[in-house]
Amino acid sequence: MHMSPNFRSQFQFISVRWQSAVCWFLSFVMLASCQLTYANGGMLIVSKDKGKTYLLFVQTHKHEYYEFPGGRQEEGASLLDNKRRLESVYETALRETVEEMRGYLGRQQLLSASSEKRVIEVDKFKLFVANVPFFQLNDVRAIKIPSGKKWSVMREVVNYAWVDVNSVEFGSNSLVTTLDGDVITMHPIAQEVVELGLSQQLF
């Protein structure tokens, strides 16, 4: 098929414009995906009792191991100024800890007990240290969660454990004995977190 020079130049112009548009779109998608990289925030609940220092571990229904309260960043109304945006990692730690503690530890209490500057970073996790008075875990377990989907986040945790920081072994052994005498498996980063916390005198 024969194309006139004028038609050929118009076709080439459209082709270049189309390629440019595709490149721009792909660049936008890649940039957006980078900007929407969510981090994980949690809290190291530290409490002292009878001369010993304990860390709080939680177990969700998704895992056999125990970990620190926390989760992934979400978009929504900020806890600090009520504007809709991606919450900070500190806000994530506050929200997730309130949810996983079934409201036993309130947001205001956690704000007073912690600071954005008192944080341990391991891999993609940021864990903020919160010093609270010692409490009985059965008081948390006894809290009844209402039925309904909106309350499902408070049903994720199925068990709680206090662990003496001095009972955590550093190395390949991820097992530890809790205050109640149970032997549990800790999250893979737990030993490094405890080691960093002790070396930085955060608890």
3-state secondary structure the chain: CCCCHHHHHHHHHHHHHHHHHHHHHHHHHHHHHHHCCCCEEEEEEEEEECCEEEEEEEEECCCCCEECCEEECCEEECCCCCCEEECCHHHHHHHHHHHHCCCCCCHHHHHHHCCCCCEEEECCEEEEEEECCCCCHHHHHCCCCCCCHHHHHHHCEEEEEEEEHHHCCCCCCCEEECCCCCEEEECCCHHHHHHHHHHCCCC
Q: In this predicted model, what pLDDT tens digit does every residue of 87-129 receive, in sequence order?
A: 899 999 999 999 999 999 999 999 999 999 999 999 889 999 9
What percentage of the chain carries pLDDT values higher than 90?
61
The position carrying tokens 């925030």 is 41
Q: CATH homologous superfamily for 40-199?
A: Nucleoside Triphosphate Pyrophosphohydrolase (3.90.79.10)
**pLDDT value at residue 15:** 52
* Domain ranges within the chain, ordered by starting residue: 1-37, 40-199
**pLDDT value at residue 148:** 78
Q: In this predicted model, what pLDDT tens digit does every residue of 163-198 receive, in sequence order?
A: 999 999 988 789 999 999 999 999 999 999 999 999
